[in-house]
Amino acid sequence: MNPIKPIKKVLIANRGEIACRVIKTCKKLDIDSVAVYSNADANALHVRMADEAIAIGPAPAAESYLVIDKIIAAAKATGADAIHPGYGFLSENAAFAKACADNDVIFIGPPVKSIEAMGSKAAAKAIMGTADVPLVPGYHGEDQSDSVLQQQADEIGYPVLLKAAMGGGGKGMRLVESKDAFQEALEGCRRESLSSFGDDRMLIEKYVMQPRHVEIQVFADQHGECVYLFERDCSLQRRHQKVVEEAPAPGIGDTLRRSMGEAAVRAAKSIGYEGAGTVEFLLDASGHFYFMEMNTRLQVEHPVTEMITGEDLVEWQIRVAGGFKLPKMQDELEIIGHAFEVRIYAETPHNEFLPATGNIAFLSTPEISDHIRIDTGIVEGSDVTVFYDPMIAKLIVWDRDRGRALHRMDKALQSYLIDGVQTNIEFLSNIISHEDFRSEKLSTHFIDDHQESLVSDPAEPSDIHHVHAAIYQFLNTHKNASKQSPWDSLTGWKLNNLNGQRYLFDVEDALVTVDLEVTRKNDQQQFVATCGELQYTAYASLTENQLRLTSDRTQLVTVHQSGSQIALFESGIKVVVNCHNPEVAGDGESDDGQLTAPMHGRIVEVLVKPGDQVEADTPLIIVEAMKMEHTIRAKEAGVIEAVYYAGGDLVEEGAELIHFQPHESE
Ligand code: MV4
């Protein structure tokens, strides 16, 4: 038994949301935190949150976050007395846990021997069987001859599942439906396992139909105590990636909860466990549960357990790793309410869930409260790269009961707005509002079985979306002008300069036209929009990204424009419209860098004055021609030397509008 050694400085050998999550608890406990980061993460949130940060190499994890020597060296260099591995990366790597011990650094996780004991499925099953943890009927013996395996499968009875003894996470599994199919499946599964895990030993299990994935959170200290912090239902997975998790598991009564919890504690004790662990079970329709595997780390979905128990599991980990006793005993733990977690990913559900990358150009999230928690390592402006897992955030909700928590989640997802990369947010909303999910009909097949109704193509813009986008463009263009109340001035702005505006949008190969009539009534701008058959009248105003529209009801639309694309977030869905960019004579800028009128027209607004320093892309002047507005922007950074026209002036095509001096480029 180790003596008590309070941890004063923790290095987090991870990135993204879990690194941020661990740093939060360090701050709470007044423990110094050290971040490590790859070249791709130099500006990442976890680096900014930590007290210190150390660069550990190139973007690919194999050259940074997975290099044991670099992590150990960083801990030594900063004087960290413990390392938190997070999940993934080195978190279940026995060699890493050993390297920590060899270097006198506390590994915030289980002992090396516990990690090793769970490394092989076959060995794990053997240990669990001895500890009286229920196993799926099957074979996990040494004899791997074809004839013995065939005979074992026949005895178990089909369908059986072949599993790689060294496999995990769903890789190297084959379903065998009949005796005839066994030998061929065996060969295939061995080949696959050899190439994936360098080992082709097999185990065989009775195939459990329509199971649920229910896992127990356990915690053990160095003094021989072990408790369970109840269960999570993680049945909703896609390709062995969890999508939605909840706690407690619906439909599990106190008796089953206790017997699963006690089995999980026996499992942990049988391998001399310390720290946070998860024992995964398959739960069949008749309420029998079977050991699947044990994860020797803090899990992605740990927040749902925190929400229903009120405990901070990272705090528990740090205390236990420092030699302290468990903060609570079994009889002090209880479940309060119900929690859900969804994983928001940068991916394209409508295109086979391919991972998406890019810049999070716009991010607006639901407000954090006792009911809503967001664990993320991403802020507006962050990049999602190909180097790491494309998870953007975990959204976690809590309420008194499952129905209320579902309602919270539904609302929260509707106010989680992202532009710049594709996400699975609508897919998650479809799951949350699915009738079978609401009525607790959960199984690991749920997502595959309901694929059709859960995955929808991106919403197509309709006339009303084009109208909203047109109103947005008008208000956005005139937002500076209206502050100066152009309605009252004698020169430049006149009502009839403004009251007819036309906006064009591309829809596939066709053009959609929106005509706006703008009038001012009772100090508000009223819009009469015509788009095809649609006639729409509304008062409208724009505050930052929020368009407020009042017709027969008031509607808030969040808008984000990037180039010619305008994303509209309304009624819980995201719709993207494409502004039509007309080909004009020239592009508003002649060769010598001067800014000229693209066509005969009228100056709507001048946005700069002589002496202004502008960045590339700054809007300088708006010209209206043939009812279309054209914004002329600075091509590069520079200074405005002269402005030759004012709002309301008529200009000829090619007339010089602004004298612009680009900055010397470096
Ligand atoms: C099973 C099973 C049915 N019967 N074992 C998948 C991952 C690996 N940890 C174990 N897995 C399964 N083992 C028997 N005997 C079904 C699965 C399974 C699964 C389990 C949990 C969550 C999602 C799953 C998706 C497909 C298959």
223 has pLDDT over 90: yes
Is 397 inside a domain boundary? yes
- Any ligand 1 atom below 6 A from CB of 208: yes
Is 2 inside a domain boundary? no
Q: Please tell me whether residues 289 and 188 are part of one structural domain.
A: no
How many C-beta atoms surround the C-beta of residue 490 within 10 A?
7
State residue 534 phi and psi, 5-degree precision: -80, 130
d(CA 466, CA 469): 5
Q: Please tell me whether residues 176 and 229 are part of one structural domain.
A: no
Q: Please tell me whether residues 486 and 573 are part of one structural domain.
A: yes
487 has pLDDT over 90: no
Distance 282 CA to ligand 1 centre (A): 7
Residue nearest to atom 25 of ligand 1 (CA): 444
Is 285 inside a domain boundary? yes
- Any ligand 1 atom below 6 A from CB of 237: yes
Shortest-distance atom of ligand 1 to CA 160: 15
User: Beta strand 628-633 with 601-606: parallel, antiparallel or unpaired?
Assistant: unpaired
Is 557 inside a domain boundary? yes
d(CA 211, CA 273): 27
Question: Best substitution site from 237, 292, 442 to test ligand 1's pocket, by max atoms within 8 Å of Cβ?
Answer: 292
Distance 170 CA to ligand 1 centre (A): 7
DSSP E strands in 400-497: the ranges are 417-419
Please count the CA atoms within 13 angstroms of the CA of 100 that sit on its side-chain side: 28
Last residue of a domain, one of 407, 426, 454: 454
pLDDT class for 585, splitting at 50, 70, 90?
Answer: very low
Q: Please tell me whether residues 379 and 230 are part of one structural domain.
A: yes
- Any ligand 1 atom below 6 A from CB of 295: no
d(CA 620, CA 117): 67
- Any ligand 1 atom below 6 A from CB of 50: no
Active-site residue flag, 373? no
Q: Please tell me whether residues 193 and 311 are part of one structural domain.
A: no
Q: Residue 486: what pLDDT?
A: 46
Q: Please tell me whether residues 491 and 603 are part of one structural domain.
A: no
pLDDT class for 599, splitting at 50, 70, 90?
Answer: confident
Instruction: Name the strand (E) or helix (H) holding 113.
Output: helix 112-117
d(CA 31, CA 305): 23
CATH number where 322 lies:
3.30.470.20
Instruction: Name the strand (E) or helix (H) holding 238.
Output: strand 226-238
Is 4 inside a domain boundary? no
DSSP E strands in 448-587: the ranges are 501-507, 510-521, 524-531, 534-543, 546-550, 554-562, 565-570, 573-579
Yes or no: say if 331 and 285 are a contact pair by the CB < 8 Å rule.
no
State residue 218 phi and psi, 5-degree precision: -115, 160
CATH number where 613 lies:
2.40.50.100
62-71, 141-150, 307-316, 493-502: the lowest-pLDDT one: 493-502
Distance 351 CA to ligand 1 centre (A): 25
d(CA 651, CA 624): 10
Mean pLDDT of the chain: 92
Distance between alpha carbon 479 and the CA centroid of its chain, in Å? Answer: 34
Q: Please tell me whether residues 560 and 482 are part of one structural domain.
A: yes
- Once rounded to an integer, what is the mean pLDDT over residues 558-578? 95
Is 262 inside a domain boundary? yes
Number of independent structural domains in the chain: 5
Distance 76 CA to ligand 1 centre (A): 41
Q: Residue 215: what pLDDT?
A: 98
Is 131 inside a domain boundary? no
Last residue of a domain, one of 183, 206, 229: 206
Residue nearest to atom 8 of ligand 1 (CA): 170
30 has pLDDT over 60: yes
Q: How close are the terminal C-alpha atoms of the chain, in Å?
A: 63
Last residue of a domain, one of 188, 206, 224: 206
Beta-bridged to residue 536, according to DSSP, are: 529
Q: Please tell me whether residues 247 and 390 are part of one structural domain.
A: yes
Yes or no: say if 220 and 277 are a contact pair by the CB < 8 Å rule.
yes
Catalytic residue (choose from 297, 319, 373, 408):
297
Q: Which residue has the tokens 């009539």?
A: 517
Distance 169 CA to ligand 1 centre (A): 9
Q: Please tell me whether residues 194 and 223 are part of one structural domain.
A: no
**pLDDT tens digits, 300-356:** 999 999 999 999 999 999 999 999 999 999 999 999 999 999 999 999 999 999 999
Print the domain residue range for 611.
Answer: 594-662
Q: Please tell me whether residues 59 and 21 are part of one structural domain.
A: yes
Rounded alpha-carbon distances, angstroms, from residue 588 to 120, 303, 583, 657: 67, 54, 11, 9
Is 272 inside a domain boundary? yes
How many C-beta atoms surround the C-beta of residue 479 within 10 A?
13
Q: Which residue has the tokens 């127990």?
A: 216
Residue nearest to atom 10 of ligand 1 (CA): 170
Residues 6+ apart with CB under 8 A from 96: 13, 68, 71, 85, 90, 107
Distance 413 CA to ligand 1 centre (A): 29
Q: Please tell me whether residues 296 and 378 are part of one structural domain.
A: yes
Question: Best substitution site from 135, 161, 177, 241 to test ligand 1's pocket, by max atoms within 8 Å of Cβ?
Answer: 161
Yes or no: say if 282 and 289 are a contact pair by the CB < 8 Å rule.
yes
**pLDDT tens digits, 179-199:** 999 999 999 999 999 988 999
Of 268 and 195, more confident: 268
Residue 77 in tokens = 């260099």
Shortest-distance atom of ligand 1 to CA 280: 9
- Any ligand 1 atom below 6 A from CB of 306: no
CATH number where 151 lies:
3.30.1490.20
DSSP string of 77-94, one letter each residue: HHT-SEEE--SSTTTT-H
How many C-beta atoms surround the C-beta of residue 470 within 10 A?
27
Q: Residue 495: what pLDDT?
A: 39
pLDDT class for 617, splitting at 50, 70, 90?
Answer: confident
Residue nearest to atom 6 of ligand 1 (CA): 170
Distance 210 CA to ligand 1 centre (A): 9
d(CA 431, CA 345): 14
Q: Residue 490: what pLDDT?
A: 34
Residue nearest to atom 2 of ligand 1 (CA): 208
Yes or no: say if 345 and 421 are a contact pair by the CB < 8 Å rule.
no
Q: Please tell me whether residues 438 and 470 are part of one structural domain.
A: no
State residue 3 phi and psi, 5-degree precision: -70, 160
d(CA 569, CA 546): 10
Distance 638 CA to ligand 1 centre (A): 62
Buried b / exposed e across 233-247, counting CB within 10 Å, b at 16+? bbbbbbeebbbbbbb
Shortest-distance atom of ligand 1 to CA 168: 9
Q: Residue 481: what pLDDT?
A: 56
State residue 472 phi and psi, 5-degree precision: -60, -45
Instruction: Name the strand (E) or helix (H) holding 218.
Output: strand 212-220
Yes or no: say if 308 and 335 are a contact pair by the CB < 8 Å rule.
yes
Yes or no: say if 36 and 65 are a contact pair by the CB < 8 Å rule.
yes
- Any ligand 1 atom below 6 A from CB of 239: no
CATH number where 501 lies:
3.30.700
**pLDDT tens digits, 119-142:** 888 899 999 999 999 999 999 999
By C-alpha distance, which of 254, 253, 212 is closest to 233? 212
